[in-house]
Amino acid sequence: MQIFKKFTWLKPLFISFALVSIIIGTYTAGFHVGTLEGGKRPEPPAGSGRVITSATSTPTWLSRDVDFGIYWDVWTWLQSRYIDHPVEEPRLFYGSLAGMVASLGDPYSLFLEPKDAEEFSEELHGRFEGIGAEIGIRENRLTVISPLTESPAEKAGLKPDDWIIKIDQKDTAGIDLNDAVRKIRGERGTQVVLSILRQGFDEPKDFTITRDQIKIVSVRWEMKDDLYAYIKVTNFNADTGERFRQAVEQIFTKKPKGIIVDFRNDPGGYLDIAVEIASYWVEEGLPVVLERKSDKSTSEYRAVQNQTLAGYPTVLLVNKGSASASEIVAGALQDYALATLVGETTFGKGSIQDIKEFSDGSAVKLTIARWLTPKERQIDSEGIKPDVEIEITDEEAKEGKDPQLEKALELLKNPK
């Protein structure tokens, strides 16, 4: 079985997670670990043509308050009494696993069927189709976390913190996040209509978005005023570390007087890439982020040898769409006074997920810890507050103005 890297990713709209009925909140541990020592293989339940490979004996560590015989009672009853029986067994099987993970009540912990797990892996490598936006559940509302740069979502006018009231005229009140992803995702060239409510709107407005192939170029750069390097980081994907390294090499040939790194609308990605990027400034061996687990133990992720941007005046641009991995880097550089943060308070996604792939290709994305900045600041649900707070109004955005970037240039040109 393969263990994937830890990552801090928010829920992507361009991945289809299967929606199945949650028929039971818990499920026998045997399906995770195979046949348990000392256990016997049970007879197949009624209506089943397959041999079940999990054990009927209850593990010693399992609560005696749970009767797993009920699981097979429910399975048998569904297969014999459902109006459209028999139900496909993989549907019931994967649905029950999805229900078990969903019972945690954590929007970032998910069960992925084999096809969905493969697509999720492709997404982390920057290959997918859809509208190119991140969504999540915030204050019980389906919310746009961030549209990706130059994506159909951004071109249609979606913004961070938009509330998705309807999907193709269907109300999203109480919607499951998986269901929302399934409804919005679709083939290239097809359209989806999202009814959006945002601050300043008197009523929801419909946004028609044409789905397309999304290819993320996670790092881009250019010179501003011929003196200051501007680096845009859109995601912390598998290729981001190498792309960032190449950008820095090219930037050095321009001999910049300062650096601007733009993390606005960056939803995150791999944790180790965040540590690698932070290490361009943070002294080798110093903590970049602290990982606090359920037992209150703390692990430190320390800067590696890399400090090629140390000493350069640096400004980081952040906003409400900056999340997870981008918050890790922003928090570390702010704690060590290595950069000035300009923009808006970040999203506040301070949890870390691990993905475990199982023998059939399915996977579970599970929250395993929460992270803190080097000074042990809590980021989850609070976000990183910038040193200089500046918002971009709708009018400024329509006019193509960027007061946050302008402020960054001003700070570099006129250091205190």
Q: At 219, is the secondary structure helix, strand, or coil?
A: strand
- 297 noted as active-site residue: no
Nearest C-alpha neighbor of 144 from the set 177, 168, 111, 104 = 177
Which one of the listed residues 16, 195, 322, 353 is annotated catalytic?
353
Burial class (CB in 10 A: 0-12, 13-18, 19+), 331: buried
Catalytic annotation present for 351: no
Residue 389 CB neighbour total at 10 angstroms: 13
Query: Catalytic residue among 195, 324, 326, 404, which?
Result: 324
Contacts of 229 (CB under 8 A, 6+ apart): 221, 222, 223, 251, 254, 256, 258, 259, 260
Number of other residues whose CB lies within 10 A of the CB of residue 133:
29
> Beta-carbon neighbour count of residue 115 at 10 Å?
13
The number of helix segments (H) and strand segments (E) in the chain equals 11, 19
| Cβ atoms within 10 Å, residue 329 | 31
Tokens representing 180 are: 């929302």
Mode of pairing for the β-strands spanning 314-318 and 340-343:
parallel
103 assigned to active site: no
Catalytic residue among 11, 159, 232, 349: 349
Task: Show the beta-strand stretches assigned E in 234-334.
Answer: 258-262, 287-292, 298-302, 314-318
For residues 155 and 25, give the distance between their C-alpha atoms in angstroms, rounded to a whole number.
40
The burial class, CB within 10 Å (0-12 / 13-18 / 19+), for 100 is buried
**Cα separations (Å) of 409 from 156, 224, 231, 305, 403?**
29, 8, 13, 29, 10
| CA pair distance 315, 30, nearest whole angstrom | 51
Measured in degrees and rounded to the nearest 5, phi and psi for residue 353 equal -110, 150
Nearest 5°: phi and psi at 326? Answer: -65, -30
Whole-angstrom distance, CA of residue 190 vs CA of residue 255: 46
Residues designated catalytic? 324, 349, 353
